[in-house]
Structure 1
Amino acid sequence: MNKLNENQRVKQISFAAPVQTAKFQKELDFRAAQNLKKLWLQYKRKHKLTQEEFANCRLGWSQGNFSQYLNGKTPIGRKSLLKLSEALECKPFDIREEFKDGDADRFRAAAENLLLILRRYPVSAEDDCLIRSIESSLVTQ
C-alpha cells in the first residue's frame, strides 16, 4: 500500500510541472502579443500605414494573419518573431521579453567592476592599451 502511494505521488509531481509550464507559456505568449500590439501602434502612427499595407508590404502576410499575432490568437514563434522585429525595426526581445540577453548585462557589469579594480594599480603601457580598448567598447554598446 505504501508503494502505491509513492507511485501516485510521483505521478502527481510529474503531471504538475507541465501544467505550470503551459500556464507560464500562455502568459509569455500573452505578453508578447501585448508588446507586439504596442510596437505596431507606435509604428503605425509614425509611418501612417494600415494593418493591411504593413502586413502585405513589410511582412508578405495577409492582414488576417498579422491580426492573429496582434490579438494573441497565434503564438509568436522564433521565425515570425525575427520577421516581425525586422519589419517593426526593433529587437526581438522588445516583443518576446524572454529573449533578452541577461548574460550580456551581467558581462558588462563584471567588465566595469574589473576595470575599476585595474585602474587602482599601475599597469604596463601594453596593459593600459588593452584596458582603454575595453573601456571604449563598453562606451559604444
Structure 2
Amino acid sequence: MVNKPLARARLITQGVAVPLESKAPAGTPEHAQEIASYFAATQGQDFPGAISSLAYRMGTVGAVDAVREAFNQGFIVRGYPMRGTVFVTSSADLAWITQLCGAQRLKAMEKNRPRLGLNNSHVDQAAQIIHEVAGKHGATRA
C-alpha cells in the first residue's frame, strides 16, 4: 500500500513536484550550484542525465544552459567523492564529502597499488600532472 502523504512529501522534497527554492537568481549558474548543493551529491555517471536532473529541479527556462555554464565556470563538478562511481557536487562541497566518505576507498586503493605495479611516487607524479594540466580551471575528459 502506498502512503500517499509520504510519497507526495518525497516528490516535493526532491524537487520533482515543484521546483526547489533558491536564493540565487533563477536560471543562473549560481542557481544550478545551489541545487547541486541541496542534494550534496547526485549520481553523475550519465552526464546528459545529470544535467537534465539538475535543470528539471530548477524549474526555469534555460535551466539546461545554466547547468552547463555552472560546469564550465567550475561551480559544479563531477568527481568520485564516494564509491567507485561519478557524482555531481557543488565544487564547494566536493572536498568535505570526499574527506567524509572517501577514506575507506582511499585505503582500499592504496592496498591495491602493488598488484597494479604502482607506488606512492606514481601517485605523486599523477597528481603533479593533473595540477599542471587542469590548473585552476579544470579539464575536460578529452
TM (norm. structure 2) is 0.33
* More helix as a share of residues: 1
Bigger fraction of residues in strand? 2
Q: Which has the larger radius of gyration?
A: 1
